[in-house]
Homo-oligomer: A and B are copies of this chain.
């Protein structure tokens, strides 16, 4: 803010700023997921990032601002995952890709999913504006696409909205409820093969009711 000094070293400092910022964001995503917003103390986030807690405050000013950054990231990632849902694409293939991508994210970014779940469970006290400004219109657009597929006779006349909710619920379940799933898997995390089985099973269960009778390609997909 009061810059001027150290102008010559700004390049190095900027890179350092970015590195530290990223470290904090990664740590924060995990700690917010595992302890909830209230239970995630700045000192715990700092300890997880390996820096003093006042450093966290210095880079993000407040706990809430840091939290919003974390939530915003997973929100953006999920939106990009739905790119395949477009009128020009084949419905079963597009929905299958969406499920695959969401399940890959459930495995690779489980903490982000958990933070989002926590926030919604608690009635979005901090990111309600995201829901109203962005999620709402985004969702309506996807529903319009799915309804167009129904109109065109490309899929069975299912409820587009509830199909979307079912895909969200099921794919995110494998992230949010990882601990329960692991416990029911004799305490060991799902293997690569089990994750592949999961993808196949989820697509089979959710898309068999969507595909037209006799249509194939639900399970057998790259």
**Alpha-carbon distance A205/B158, docked complex (angstroms):** 8
Residues on B with C-beta less than 8 A from A135 are: 180, 183-184
Tell yes or no: A17 within 8 A of B by CB.
Answer: no
Residues on B with C-beta less than 8 A from A213 are: 213
Contact with B along A165-191 (1 / 0, CB 8 A): 110111011101101110110000000
Residues on B with C-beta less than 8 A from A120 are: 176-177, 179-180
* Inter-chain contact A177/B181, CB cutoff 8 Å: no
Residues on B with C-beta less than 8 A from A173 are: 165-166, 168-169
Closest B residue to A180 by CB, please name it.
Answer: B120
Within the complex, what minimum Cβ distance (angstroms) separates A130 from chain B?
Answer: 10
Tell yes or no: A204 within 8 A of B by CB.
Answer: yes
Closest B residue to A173 by CB, please name it.
Answer: B169
**Alpha-carbon distance A178/B60, docked complex (angstroms):** 30
Closest B residue to A113 by CB, please name it.
Answer: B121
Main secondary structure, interface of A, reads helix
Residues on B with C-beta less than 8 A from A70 are: none
Tell yes or no: A92 within 8 A of B by CB.
Answer: no
Closest B residue to A128 by CB, please name it.
Answer: B183
Give me 13 A-to-B residue pairs in the complex whose CB atoms sit less than 8 angstroms apart, sorted by A's number: A33-B122, A34-B122, A34-B123, A114-B121, A120-B177, A120-B180, A124-B183, A158-B201, A159-B197, A161-B201, A205-B206, A207-B209, A208-B208
User: Given known contacts A39-B39, A118-B118, A208-B208, what 18 new A-B pairs fall within 8 Å (CB)?
Assistant: A38-B38, A117-B121, A120-B176, A120-B177, A121-B176, A124-B179, A124-B183, A131-B180, A159-B201, A163-B205, A165-B174, A166-B170, A166-B205, A166-B206, A169-B172, A169-B173, A169-B177, A207-B209
Which A residues fall within an 8 A CB radius of B?
Answer: 33-39, 114, 117-118, 120-124, 128, 131-132, 135-136, 139, 156, 158-159, 161-163, 165-166, 168-170, 172-174, 176-177, 179-181, 183-184, 197-198, 201-202, 204-210, 213
Closest 8 pairs between A and B when the two form their complex, measured CB to CB = A208-B209, A38-B39, A169-B173, A36-B36, A162-B201, A159-B201, A38-B38, A123-B179
